[in-house]
Amino acid sequence: MTFIKALNQLDKLLDNHGQARRKLQDDFDKALQDSYKAEYPRRKFTASKSQENNAQEHDRILAEYSELARVMTEKQSKIEKTAREQLDKIAARSSLPVTKKMNRYASVSSSAYNTQGFGAHRYAKESAQQYLDKALAYGLQGEIRPVETDSGKDCTGHSYRTVDYQVWVTLSKAGCKLLRMKPGTGNLLDWAVTCWRRGTNPKVYNPFLPHDISEEACRIAMAQ
């Protein structure tokens, strides 16, 4: 099976599962309403009134559909896990479909790093650069295209500018999805060293990065 076929099958599976969950919710809502209307045909139905005035039937229906939801979720999770594992195996052995035309592989907004103040754009651009580094490591060509999405003044009168740093690479759209599933080419320490060299704190990107790795990476970066 090809990567694209497996990906399409997973997308269809997830869509079908979503439809099944929505139908179960609709059935639950209808069961509550029908039960309430049978007891109080002239009253307007609301979930809160059902729970208050028709408590016994409400609780029975809730218990029934909660069990149905539990069984459905458990079954769907197993099926989805198997499908994702199959997709991972196919992705691991699939080659990247290089194209002359570029497609957008990733996008990082400066708004995602507003907590870094005036450094927001630097952190967003560096995050985009990391995506590009991965693509280049796999022998692809690519570039970062900054696209301004918003600008103006905030409530304090300070000017702001929001930019999406888009990463475009020589892959098809399906190829971009495949690249996202491919492993990175370096280890955690190498990545942290690169962050420090480029003037960014790796713990901003990964708050759970072990402190000893961050410190060692900083020492290596400053010594070079």
100 is a domain residue: no
Burial class (CB in 10 A: 0-12, 13-18, 19+), 10: middle
Contact 146, 110 (CB under 8 A): no
207, part of any domain: yes
For the chain, list residues with pLDDT below 70: 153-155
* Shared-domain flag, residues 34 and 115: no
Q: Is 98 within a domain? A: no
Cα separation, 107 vs 180, in Å, equals 12
Q: How far apart are CA 30 and CA 44, in angstroms?
A: 14
- For residue 161, being part of any structural domain is answered with yes
Interatomic CA distance for residues 175 and 197, integer angstroms = 30
Q: Are 178 and 90 in contact (CB under 8 A)?
A: no
- First-to-last alpha carbon distance for the chain, in angstroms, is 47
User: 66, 55, 58, 56: which is closest to 24 by C-alpha?
Assistant: 66
Domain boundary among the residues 93, 119, 139 is at 93
What's the whole-model pTM score? 0.76
pLDDT of residue 153: 66
Domain assignment of residue 150, yes or no: yes
When divided into structural domains, the chain yields a total of: 3
Burial of 72 (0-12, 13-18, 19+ CB in 10 A): middle
Is the CB of residue 31 less than 8 Å from the CB of residue 61? yes
Do 101 and 140 contact (CB within 8 A), yes or no? no
pLDDT score at 105? 97
Give the β-pairing of 98-109 and 142-153.
unpaired
Which residue segment(s) compose the domain that 132 sits in? Answer: 105-183
Answer yes or no: are the C-beta atoms of 113 and 125 closer than 8 Å. Answer: no
pLDDT digits (tens, 9 = 90+) for 125-173: 999 999 999 999 999 999 999 999 987 766 677 777 899 999 999 999 9
